[in-house]
Amino acid sequence: AKITFITSDNEKIELEATSGSVMQLAVDNGVQGIDGDCGGVCSCATCHVHVLPEHVSKTGTASEIEQDMLELDDNVSEYSRLCCQLDVSDALDGVVLQVAK
């Protein structure tokens, strides 16, 4: 699947992957602003992204645990996701994720 990140500097980073989490993909490729401090267990929110509104159908919505974590973040929006909770799959192909500040 092709996954595009837009960093807070408005840099566009297009990546390809077939498996793993979106957070791991971002970290492996040095996407600025995605730290993945907790290793992907939904407890740090350093992998916060905003899904482009028209792409929410690709990602689905956040689980309750994820939602709770997101609410601790000042920049939360209705399009917020923790990208360690997004698994790379064909369903995500073409998704654009804005890295949260």
Which chain residues interact with ligand FES by CB under 6 A? 23, 36-38, 40, 42-47, 82, 84
Instruction: Decide whether 54 or 77 has the Cβ nearer to ligand FES.
Output: 77
Give the nearer residue to ligand FES in terms of CB position, either 6 or 23. 23
CB atoms within 10 A of CB 65: 13
Closest distance of CB 49 from ligand FES, Å: 10
Q: Smallest distance, Å, CB 87 to ligand FES?
A: 12
- Residue 64 CB, shortest distance to ligand FES, in Å, is 14
What is the distance between the alpha carbons of residues 99 and 16, in angstroms, rounded to a whole number?
A: 17
Rounded Cα–Cα distance for residues 84 and 5 (Å): 14
